[in-house]
Structure 1
Amino acid sequence: MDPITQLLTVIAFVSIGILFSPETSRTGSDGGYSSTISTLIKLAHLLSFSIAWGAAVWGVLIGGLIMFRTLPRHQFGNLRTKIFPVYFLTATACSMILIITFAYDNSWRLMEEKQKLQLLLLLSSFGFNVINLVVFLPMTLEVMRRRHKVEREVDIGEEVGWWKNKLVAKHNPNLAAMNKTFALVHGIAALATMASLSSLALYSWYLASKIHL
């Protein structure tokens, strides 16, 4: 297990332990202890949302586009093999903390329909992140590595953009087939990523309605 996975695992288990420990439910005579725990839970919720949302917007939309338009394709792809596992692992851990902290003070049977919808949005974001981390990310990276090998055989991949790949693929059935496979797998992974991001975007509206400035 790599250090980042270990760190996120420790954070997740510590968070669960704090949230569900018997001491968490204790309330002092002036309510100070309960108020402190409540504030910590809200802080964990806000920080987890901020990290998950910020990582998605920057890593997937802004940073990803800048890297694609600046780096040679193989260098860009190799960099993504390092970034994406950490991103999806972080997003999954943050989604789990969001779910735990949201449900902490809310019993499902006592929740209003609006609250239940928000919890379902968080569960949806968590589910899509897990699917990407466990299923689609390994598939995408494996197909990408195989396509890199085919491209190196025809001396392409060190240019910026797709123009050379498309040109060679017209006369190379093997590369054309790899392109189709990659487009399919990567497309499904991208849809799952956007679904997770959309769930967080919808939840942000509910979260904003609870903030008093």
Structure 2
Amino acid sequence: MPASSEPPDVAKLLHLIFLSTSWGMQIWVTFVSGLVMGSRLTRHTYGFIQSELFPYYLHICSACAFFNLLIFAMYHPSELLSKEETTQITVFFVCVAVAALNAQWFGQMTSDILADKHQIERTYGLGQEIGFFTSKSYRKLRESDPAYRKMCRQLILYHALSSLCNLCCIACNGWSLYYLAAHLSAL
């Protein structure tokens, strides 16, 4: 497709829908719902809800990133890209790669380890506390059970990697929104 032709309105609309859907979900899940649920629900209820919702969230974000890259690439041929457009397509590509990695690996591993960890905690009567902070009972369990201690370390690692991927996607989508806003001729 020639670069001089403007994308049709439907392509622009789809691009906005995918970008805003992804951005809105990321902001809500990362900065609002997680904090509210984590401070109001029991640890196991919170973990269960997240393990059920996160695969959908991560796959929707991954799909939105892919479609944003696809739509942008269709209307910006590589041989005619400006430096700014090259940066934008790179940002979309990074977002796709990181979102897919999170959806297929880090997010899934975090949920799987959390489910195993909850099973062990239930056998000790733990998991019904409300809030983010751990009690002495969890520390004692980590000290006495090597398998549980290993799961705790793995969970910290995979959760941190998943969170970094999520923050990277938020940054990519924030950059994309800035790029889009800078190229609006009118509201």
Fold shared per TM-score above 0.5: yes
Q: Distance in 2 between matches of 1:72 and 1:169?
A: 14
Q: Distance in 1 between matches of 2:92 and 2:114?
A: 30
Q: 2:159 aligns with which of 186, 194, 198?
A: 186
Alignment of 1:63-142 (within 5 A): 63-142=33-112
Q: Distance in 2 between matches of 1:142 and 1:46?
A: 34
Q: 1:196 aligns with which of 161, 169, 172?
A: 169
Q: Distance in 1 between matches of 2:37 and 2:65?
A: 26
Q: Distance in 1 between matches of 2:120 and 2:108?
A: 19
Number of aligned residues: 179
Q: Distance in 1 between matches of 2:151 and 2:137?
A: 12
Q: Which amino acid aligns with 1:142?
A: D
Q: Distance in 1 between matches of 2:160 and 2:104?
A: 16
- SS of the aligned residue for 2:126 comes to coil
- Give a deviation string over 1:84-115, Cα, whole Å, max 9, x none: 11111111111111111111121111100110
1:45 is the counterpart of 2:18: no
User: Is the Cα contact below 8 Å between 1:88 and 1:133 reproduced in 2?
Assistant: yes
Please list every run of at least 4 consecutive aligned residues from structure 1 whose deviation after the TM superposition is greater than 6 angstroms.
none
Q: Distance in 2 between matches of 1:142 and 1:97?
A: 28
Backbone CA RMSD of aligned residues: 1.6
Q: Distance in 2 between matches of 1:118 and 1:162?
A: 38
1:210 is the counterpart of 2:180: no
User: Is the Cα contact below 8 Å between 2:19 and 2:68 reproduced in 1?
Assistant: yes
User: How far apart are residue 199 of structure 1 and its match?
Assistant: 0.9
1:55 is the counterpart of 2:28: no
Unaligned ranges ≥5, structure 1: 1-24, 26-33
Q: Distance in 1 between matches of 2:83 and 2:160?
A: 33
User: How far apart are residue 181 of structure 1 and its match?
Assistant: 1.8
Q: Distance in 1 between matches of 2:112 and 2:139?
A: 23
Q: Which amino acid aligns with 1:91?
A: C
Q: Distance in 1 between matches of 2:36 and 2:79?
A: 46
User: Is the Cα contact below 8 Å between 2:42 and 2:130 reproduced in 1?
Assistant: yes
User: Is the Cα contact below 8 Å between 1:169 and 1:176 reproduced in 2?
Assistant: no
Unaligned ranges ≥5, structure 2: none
Q: Which has the higher contact order (CA 8 A, sep 6+)?
A: 2
User: How far apart are residue 203 of structure 1 and its match?
Assistant: 1.6
User: How far apart are residue 166 of structure 1 and its match?
Assistant: 4.1
| Structure label with greater radius of gyration | 1
User: How far apart are residue 170 of structure 1 and its match?
Assistant: 2.7
Q: Distance in 1 between matches of 2:18 and 2:82?
A: 23
User: Is the Cα contact below 8 Å between 2:66 and 2:96 reproduced in 1?
Assistant: yes
